[in-house]
Every structure is written in structure tokens, then in C-alpha cells.
Amino acid sequence: MIAQLAIKVQRTIEKYRMISPGDKVLVAVSGGVDSSVLLHLLHRLSSRLGCSLQVAHLNHLLRGEESQRDEQFVREMAERLGLEAIIRAVPVRETAARPGLSLQVRARQVRYAFLEEVAREAGCNRIALGHTADDQAETLLIYLLRGAGRRGLRGIPPLREGLFVRPLIEAYRSEIEDYAQKERIPFVTDSSNLKTDYLRNRIRLALLPHLRSEYNPRILETLATEASILAAEEELLGSLTASRFPGVVEEEEEGRIAFSIASLQQEPVALQRRLLLEGARRLAGPSSFPWGHRHIFALVDLLSAPSGSEIDLPQGMVARRSYGLLLLEKKREQPPAPWDHPVAVEGVTSLPEAGMGLRARVVSREQVRLEESSPSLAFLDFDRLIPPLSARNRRPGDRFYPLGAGGEKKLKDFLIEGKVPRSARDHLPLLVDREKILWVVGMRLDQRARVGDDTRRVLRIEVVPHGR
């Protein structure tokens, strides 16, 4: 007899057309109760769904022995189910250098990039994630507290980009934990989920229990339902925006969109905002999009401002009213001149163009604690380096083998996946030897320069303030 949770998950999969016969599904498994139950349910349903499964696990190297325990747990779970597991380790802390980017956000970006890369390598056309209805409720509250607007309040989509699927999105954690207990499914516990440093944890551990006990015993169901309703309405509004967009645009070219003010003003204000936001998103490309309500309201106000009025916007954009047009464009910057500085393996090298310096010294392997690695401190196997060493900005055709990745890739693609703003890419320092990039400073080491079991000498190199 099939369990109620399995029936519920199968209905969710069918309702949103998440998985079709012949699909190859990459299941992201952390080892926690949600992803462990997800893997067992998909394994149980795979013959009915007509799909094949593969397991992926990313060790973020953030929790010491606990991270190693999780990795081994997932490996053994996959073996018991007769599934192949692709497991990699990425020192996420070393990649969290960008100002304003939290370690949690960076870890999420690295994790999604890893899953997409593994899916491509393994030929998987679906990536299954373990988000639940509880996650949906928590996300809705996070966006509500931050003032995200309707687009944010739609919560977590069950299906995204035709690739990511969330079969547990309509299941509650209590159901999942009951299923794990009844079916004797093992799982591990992430101790960081109990830390109240993070907003999501505070919502789960404090705010939701308070709302449940004092205001609404079914608060999870209420929030999850609201998110589902808003998601459906957002899909409709998104389609409406896409269909109206060509009618309000006079001209669109790379780095510039000219809106017809007369056409925009014929639309309701709510649609004006969405159309302008869509134009900004098209100009922003794949980079992050940190716009708030005030930016969109300022754009709408510009529609009725005098000709020649102008406002600066995030991500190097500017909006200007020019007679009957509202021009939204990216500020054009001249690429910086190439620069290249020899790096001393003992001492400090000044990099004035990058506003920093690099202090290097060679030490024995016994003197190194790899857990001290950070965005500003790297350890490289000195005997694998091919001198001379230098620091420079990027060049056309640069390639890089990111630590923990499956192989070499274009540096440009790595920076795009890392959400590095286009304006910052030409200024980012690269530590190189005669043949390859060794370290994208502040982000990631090259796999070929990593410290291994056979390493004897280590180049310890750290970022220091310019002029020190």
C-alpha cells in the first residue's frame, strides 16, 4: 500500500508536470530529513513516473567534521539505493568576498551553479530540490518583512526554468518527519539550522511558533496557500507584461531601451511599474537585481517630469526623459587598460589598479591550517606552480579550473555564474603563473593549485590594504 505522502507528492508532480517519462532527474541531497525523504520517495515512484535518478551532494566545507559526516552519509545512502552519487567539495567561505553578499546567499549561488553544472555533465534534464510547504511559508514571511512586492510574495515556484522541480512543495515538514519515522529513513541534522543569526531560522524557530500559538493554529497552511495564489496571479501578470512590452517600447538595443511615454501612460500605474521593471531587468542581464520600490516609483515619477530630467539607478543605469521618450540605459564605461605586476613569493606586491596588495611567503605544509582559508587568504601548492608569478586583470580567452568544479571553463562564464557585476570584472585581480590562472582573488582557487596530501611546500598569500 502506497503511503499518503507518496500519493500527495505524485499528485504534485503530475499537477505541475514536473517529471515526464524518460526524464533523467538529478536529486539534490544534503542529508537532512527533507532531501532524504525526497530521494526515497522519488526512488519509490521512479517506475511509475518512468524516470531515472542520480544523486548530487555539495560539501560546502563550512561545518568541519559535520560537513564530512554529511558527505559520507549521502554517499552511503545513494549506494544503498543503487544510485550514482556525484559529490564535490567547494570552500564556500573563500568565495564570499563581495561586499554586501552574505555567506548564506553565496553558498546558495555556489550550490545552484554546482547543480546546473552536474546536470549538464550527467545529461539530466530535471533537478529535484527538497523545498517544502514550510519553506514556502518562511519565504513568504521573509519577503513580506523585506517589502518585496507581489513578485516576491509569490514565494518559491514549484517549477523554475523548466529545470528545477520541487516535488515536496505542497508537503508539510510534519508529514515528512512522520514519513521518515514510519519508513525508518535515516537522515542527519544540520546544527546551523538552530542558530538564530539567520533571519530564516528566527522565523522558523520564533516567529512562526508565536503566530501559531497566539493568532492562527494553521498559519503554515494559510501562508502556503497565499503563496500559491500569489504565484498563479504573478504568472498571469508576467504574461500580461510580456505581451504589452513591445507596444510601449520605441527602440531596444544593447544597453539601451527607449519607452514611449504616451503609450506607458495609457496603462494602469501597476502595469507601468512592471513594464519599466521588465526593461531594467533586460538591461541588467544575468546579474543580481537589487532594485527596491523607491527606484520603480522614481521611474514612474519621471514620466511626468520636465524633458531633460534624469535619475541614477542601481547597476550603473541611468533613466532620462527626452521629450516623448523615457530612455533607460547603462552608463558606458571604457574598459581599463591591461595591467600586470610581478608577484614576489616573499614579501608584498602592490596592485594599485585593484586598490590592494598581496603578501606572500612560502611555508611548510605542517605550518598550514587549511580551515583558515578565506576570501582574502589562500594556500597554494608551491611546487605545482610554474614561475614567474604575476597578478593582472582579465584578458580575452582566459580560462579557469575552479576548485571543486568538474573541469575547466571560460573565466567569463565563471564570473557570470558568480554574479560578479560586469563593471567589476575588468578590475578583479588574478594571480597567475606562466601557464594558468591560480586564484581569482577573493573568489576561488584553481583546482590544479590546491594543497593536497602530497604537498610539501605551501605558498601562503593574502590580500592586504594597498600601500601596506
Strands 126-128 and 164-165: parallel
What average pLDDT score do residues 358-368 get?
A: 92
Q: Is the distance from CB of 56 to CB of 186 less than 8 angstroms?
A: no
Specify the higher pLDDT residue, 459 or 377: 459
Q: What string of DSSP letters covers 67-107?
A: HHHHHHHHHHHHHHTT--EEEEE--GGGG--STT--HHHHH
pLDDT over 50 at 27, yes or no: yes
Identify whether the C-beta of residue 339 lies closer than 8 Å to the C-beta of residue 349.
Answer: no
What tens digit of pLDDT does each residue of 177-195 get? 999 999 999 999 888 888 7
Find out whether 10 and 48 touch, Cβ atoms under 8 Å: yes
More confident residue, 418 or 359: 359
Percent of the chain with pLDDT over 70: 93
Amino acid 290: pLDDT: 55
Higher pLDDT, 160 or 384: 384
What structural domains does the chain harbor? Answer: 4-227 (3.40.50.620), 254-330 (3.30.465.60), 340-465 (3.50.40.10)
What is the three-class DSSP state of 458?
Answer: strand
Q: What is the arithmetic mean of pLDDT over 39-50?
A: 96
Question: Does the bond joining 388 to the residue before it have cis omega, within 30 degrees of 0?
Answer: yes
Average pLDDT over residues 105-134: 91
Cell of 186: 535515516
- Band of residue 124 on the pLDDT scale cut at 50, 70, 90: very high
* Cβ-proximal residues to 112 (8 Å cutoff; 6+ apart), any chain: none
pLDDT at 313 over 90: no
- Supply the pLDDT for residue 228: 82
Statement: residue 291 has pLDDT above 70: no
Mean pLDDT value across residues 347-361? 89
Instruction: Taking residues 119-145, report their average pLDDT.
Output: 92
Altogether, the residues listed in the chain come to a count of 468
Q: Which of 455, 450, 451, 448 is nearest to 408 (CA)?
A: 448
Per-residue pLDDT tens for 365-386?
A: 999 888 788 888 899 999 999 9
In tens, the pLDDT along 318-338 reads 999 988 999 998 876 666 789
Maximum alpha-carbon separation in the chain: 71
Across the chain, what does the average pLDDT equal? 88
* 8 A C-beta contact, residue 153 and residue 228: no
Q: Quote the CA–CA distance of 261 and 253 in Å, as a whole number.
A: 18
| Rounded Cα–Cα distance for residues 165 and 17 (Å) | 9
Query: Would you state the pLDDT for residue 246?
Result: 95
Distance CA(112)–CA(106), nearest Å, equals: 10
The confidence score (pLDDT) of residue 380 equals 95
Give the tens place of pLDDT for each residue, 229-282: 888 888 888 899 999 999 999 988 878 899 999 999 999 999 999 999 899 888
Does position 139 have pLDDT exceeding 80, yes or no?
Answer: yes
| 468: pLDDT strictly greater than 60 | no
- In the predicted model, is pLDDT for residue 287 greater than 50? no
DSSP assignment of 267-295: S-HHHHHHHHHHHHHHHHTTS-----HHH
Q: Looking at residue 231, what is its pLDDT?
A: 81
> 193-203 pLDDT, tens per residue?
887 878 889 99
Q: pLDDT-based confidence at 99, cuts 50/70/90?
A: very low
Asked whether the predicted pLDDT for residue 1 surpasses 70, the reply is no
